[in-house]
């Protein structure tokens, strides 16, 4: 177990509220739901909560339980609150609750915070008592357990637990709950909170002791969400509490607060101690099944982080029924926490690192089958909006990444049945791209290159859009789109040759040859010494120095001629490489932004204009090793900058993006699938 524990240093915990408040933890439930919060306990985001349940469409992910305000009262009557003030650090806020359960008291000393097998544990000293608190989500269930263990005390302490809630979808503004009125009912030690026939019931109980609930009138509390304020969103909202549980706990004893949207029979099926044992064992097996290079230290933590992205989409019930009728299962990938759903592009890029490197080959196949079913008009979905059961298809590259993901899957498994199942669909994809499909995506018959673009849409991975403003439209023939197109043609030709013979492969081989010749004639910019980012664009050829050119070298079938690999890789190394990935635009270029901050418009203006993306370290490592195949040690050093980051932002995981310049402050999602996946994949690849 010691290898799978990350403990925050005292230096971090002792830097005041900001040290613990800016670090966040997250536990996922395998359905798309999760629990997450700051280490300090302050609620700073709309996404913080102990139970964000994944529910069928049209609800999607719904915040059910925001907090559990916890107060310890010792034998002398002194009270200590375990969590930080609910105001999220707002000096003007007031979270006083009144009554015995809300005695202000003092904040207990946070002695330690650790992620133990990916599960958060706090250790507090409250006067003469030492208390540990742990959060567990049973896998595959919308249930949360919060366990309190009294590790040391001379006399029993009294523990007050006040559930604080506001039923709202996770994307709703914090002042817009789904209901205005709540109703609580009790039957023995079972309690249910309801808010109307169209919303789920929240069920609550205490296991392990006599903890009756005192109803004190449904207190509402104003909360200030600091991070939402910084991001330009509504930052003040009300939370509701029905009352508080109260009881005594002695040394060596523990009690568990359990809450769920599941039925009582599920909530009570296993005692909390068994849930913890089984969930810990599940996580041990996940690590044991991973590649040997990933079974200890920081990589073991990232294997557990990888698990958080793989999920059964609870909202898409019809898809689950269809798949199971076919003897299959639906699996997909959450692109990032807290706000992303499953995205086709992110899923295909991350598939190798999340599943193949971690020994989850069966689930990799399910993911490919799932997205194969979603193909429409030659495209896989760009993304599924939260609470919807139909995807949006505005993407030019996600479908091309599907070929790459399938190739890596076949290399790891040799699963020809999946190839044969998908080949007719992939043939249809190629045909649609040759004829032209939606959003202006299609082959230019004059040169065999793939063009894309439609007014008002952002079709490449550089997809920031604010209202009607597409920040980096890149309409025309984008460099990575054509690198992916060429790679897909070569892969498809190979598969058809293996299955149906040379005659079946010949048309694609000829198209690939044409694309190769045209790419090398059109994309090389002699004056810059690197590749154009877009040719035949709205304003001609775009000379901006971006990381997209690295894919012309890094993919399994590189489209760029060998003699130009070195200048491209050197340009990326000297102008774009950082310890945490590649910049999205080189310093000195027009529109370059050194920092990603401010409201939505300001952030999206910087999203792909310099901001560092962690996932891009993967293709850079691939390209580096093509040039320097003997230098695995040097390639491994490119990954080491991520190791200190595991103590920042999302504990034990990797953020989505970083500022373009030192100190490379983490930004965006605290935990991003392709960031984690590419570090895992490349760690295996650079194993000596």
Residue 134: CATH number of its domain = 2.70.98
Position 457 pLDDT exceeds 80: yes
Position 93 pLDDT exceeds 90: no
- Same domain, yes or no: 109 and 221: yes
**Using CA atoms, how far apart are residues 122 and 132, in angstroms rounded to an integer?**
5
Closest CA to 239 of 42, 39, 67, 62: 67
pLDDT score for 16? 55
- Same domain, yes or no: 177 and 262: yes
- Same domain, yes or no: 57 and 130: yes
Closest CA to 547 of 612, 630, 482: 612
Which pLDDT band holds residue 195 (cuts at 50, 70, 90)?
Answer: very high
559 assigned to some structural domain: yes
- Same domain, yes or no: 55 and 129: yes
- Give tens-digit pLDDT for 532-565: 999 999 999 999 999 999 999 999 999 999 999 9
- Same domain, yes or no: 86 and 200: yes
- Same domain, yes or no: 220 and 345: no
- Same domain, yes or no: 261 and 343: no
- Same domain, yes or no: 375 and 245: no
Closest CA to 683 of 303, 299, 356: 299
Question: Which one of 284, 312, 327 terminates a domain?
Answer: 284
605 assigned to some structural domain: yes
423 assigned to some structural domain: no
User: For the chain, what's the residue count?
Assistant: 688
Is the pLDDT higher at 387 or at 207? 207
pLDDT score for 17? 52
- Same domain, yes or no: 309 and 187: no
429 assigned to some structural domain: no
Is the pLDDT higher at 101 or at 666? 666
pLDDT score for 179? 80
Q: What mean pLDDT is reported for the chain? A: 93
Position 344 pLDDT exceeds 60: yes
Residue 38: CB atoms within 10 Å: 23
Are 655 and 668 contacting, i.e. CB atoms less than 8 angstroms apart? yes
Position 99 pLDDT exceeds 80: no
pLDDT score for 14? 66
pLDDT score for 468? 82
26 forms bridges with which residues in the sheet? 36
Q: Please give the tally of structural domains in the chain.
A: 4
- Same domain, yes or no: 9 and 108: yes
Out of 151-160, 309-318, 640-649, which region has the weakest mean confidence (pLDDT)? 309-318
Summarize the confidence of residues 615-623 as an average pLDDT.
98
Which pLDDT band holds residue 95 (cuts at 50, 70, 90)?
Answer: very low
428 assigned to some structural domain: no
Summarize the confidence of residues 275-280 as an average pLDDT.
97
* Residue 166: exposure state from Cβ atoms within 10 A (0-12, 13-18, ≥19): buried
Out of 299-308, 379-388, 471-480, which region has the weakest mean confidence (pLDDT)? 379-388
- Same domain, yes or no: 58 and 140: yes
- Same domain, yes or no: 567 and 677: no
433 assigned to some structural domain: no
Left if phi > 0, otherwise alpha if psi is -120 to 50, otherwise beta: which for 224? beta
Q: Which domain holds residue 652?
A: 579-687
Which pLDDT band holds residue 91 (cuts at 50, 70, 90)?
Answer: very low
**Tokens 């079972």 map to which residue?**
190
- The predicted model scores a pTM of 0.95
Is the pLDDT higher at 19 or at 373? 373
Summarize the confidence of residues 180-186 as an average pLDDT.
90
Is the pLDDT higher at 221 or at 281? 281
Summarize the confidence of residues 645-652 as an average pLDDT.
95
User: Which range, 140-154, 316-330, 592-606, is most confident?
Assistant: 140-154
Question: Which one of 264, 284, 304 terminates a domain?
Answer: 284
**Using CA atoms, how far apart are residues 322 and 329, in angstroms rounded to an integer?**
9
- Give tens-digit pLDDT for 6-48: 888 777 776 655 688 899 999 999 999 999 999 999 999 999 9
Q: What percent of the chain has pLDDT over 70?
A: 96
Summarize the confidence of residues 214-234 as an average pLDDT.
89
Contact partners, residue 327, CB within 8 Å, separation at least 6: none
Summarize the confidence of residues 300-307 as an average pLDDT.
98
- CA terminus-to-terminus distance, the chain: 25
Question: Which one of 353, 381, 415 terminates a domain?
Answer: 415
pLDDT score for 657? 98
pLDDT score for 636? 98
179 assigned to some structural domain: yes
Position 675 pLDDT exceeds 50: yes
Which pLDDT band holds residue 88 (cuts at 50, 70, 90)?
Answer: very low
421 assigned to some structural domain: no
- Give tens-digit pLDDT for 36-84: 999 999 999 999 999 999 998 889 999 999 999 999 999 888 999 998 6
């Amino acid at each position: 177990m010691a290898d799978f524990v990350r403990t925050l240093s005292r230096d971090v915990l002792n830097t005041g509220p900001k040290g613990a408040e800016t670090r966040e933890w997250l536990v996922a439930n395998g359905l798309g739901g999760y629990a997450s919060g700051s280490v300090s306990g302050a609620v700073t985001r709309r996404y913080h909560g102990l139970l964000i349940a994944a529910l069928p469409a049209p609800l999607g992910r719904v915040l059910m339980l925001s907090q559990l305000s916890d107060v310890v009262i010792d034998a002398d009557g002194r009270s200590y609150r375990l969590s930080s003030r609910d105001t999220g650090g707002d000096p003007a806020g007031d979270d006083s609750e009144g009554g015995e359960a809300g005695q202000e008291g003092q904040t207990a000393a946070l002695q330690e915070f650790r992620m133990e097998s990916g599960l958060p544990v706090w250790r507090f000293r409250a006067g003469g008592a030492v208390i540990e608190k742990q959060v567990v989500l049973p896998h595959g269930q919308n249930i949360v357990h919060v366990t309190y263990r009294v590790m040391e005390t001379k006399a029993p302490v009294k523990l007050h637990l006040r559930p604080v809630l506001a039923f709202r979808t996770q994307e709703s503004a914090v002042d817009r709950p789904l209901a205005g009125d709540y109703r609580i009912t009790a039957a023995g030690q079972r309690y249910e909170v309801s808010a109307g026939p169209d919303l789920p019931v929240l069920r609550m109980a205490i296991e392990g002791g006599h903890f009756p609930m005192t109803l004190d009138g449904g207190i509402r509390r104003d909360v200030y969400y600091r991070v939402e304020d910084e991001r330009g969103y509504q930052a003040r909202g009300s939370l509701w509490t029905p009352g508080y549980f109260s009881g005594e706990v002695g040394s060596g004893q523990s009690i568990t607060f359990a809450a769920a949207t599941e039925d009582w029979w599920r909530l009570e099926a296993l005692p909390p101690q068994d849930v913890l044992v089984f969930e810990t064992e599940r996580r041990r097996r996940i690590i044991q099944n991973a590649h040997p290079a990933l079974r200890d230290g920081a990589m073991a933590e990232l294997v557990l982080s990888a698990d958080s992205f793989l999920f059964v989409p609870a909202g898409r019930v019809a898809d689950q029924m269809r798949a199971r009728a076919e003897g299959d299962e639906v699996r997909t990938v959450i692109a990032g926490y807290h706000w992303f759903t499953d995205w086709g592009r992110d899923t295909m890029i991350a598939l190798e690192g999340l599943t193949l490197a971690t020994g989850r080959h069966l689930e990799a196949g399910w993911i490919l089958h799932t997205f194969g079913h979603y193909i429409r008009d030659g495209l896989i979905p760009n993304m599924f909006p939260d609470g919807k059961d139909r995807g949006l298809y505005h993407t030019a590259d996600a479908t091309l990444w599907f070929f790459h993901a399938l190739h890596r899957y076949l290399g790891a498994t040799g699963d020809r049945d999946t190839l044969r199942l998908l080949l007719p669909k992939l043939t249809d994809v190629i045909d649609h791209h040759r004829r032209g499909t939606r959003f202006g995506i299609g082959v230019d018959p004059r040169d065999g290159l793939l063009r894309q673009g439609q007014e008002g849409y952002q079709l490449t991975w550089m997809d920031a859009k604010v209202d009607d403003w597409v920040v980096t439209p890149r309409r025309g023939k984008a460099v990575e789109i054509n690198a992916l197109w060429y790679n897909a043609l070569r892969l498809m030709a190979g598969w058809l040759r293996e299955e149906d013979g040379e005659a079946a492969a010949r048309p694609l081989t000829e198209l690939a040859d044409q694309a190769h010749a045209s790419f090398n004639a059109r994309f090389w910019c002699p004056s810059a010494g690197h590749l154009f980012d877009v040719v035949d664009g709205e304003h001609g050829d775009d000379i901006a120095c971006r990381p997209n050119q690295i894919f012309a070298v890094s993919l399994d079938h590189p489209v760029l001629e060998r003699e130009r690999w070195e200048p491209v890789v050197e340009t990326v190394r000297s102008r774009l490489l950082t310890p945490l990935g590649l910049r999205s635009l080189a310093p000195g270029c027009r529109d370059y932004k050194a920092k990603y901050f401010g409201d939505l418009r300001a952030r999206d203006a910087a999203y792909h204009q310099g901001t560092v993306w962690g996932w891009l370290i993967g293709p850079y490592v691939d390209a580096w090793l093509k040039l320097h195949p003997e230098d695995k040690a040097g390639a491994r050093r490119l990954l080491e900058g991520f190791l200190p980051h595991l103590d920042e932002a999302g504990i034990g995981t990797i953020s989505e993006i970083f500022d373009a310049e030192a100190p490379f402050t983490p930004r965006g999602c605290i935990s991003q699938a392709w960031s984690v996946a590419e570090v895992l994949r490349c760690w295996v690849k650079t194993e000596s």
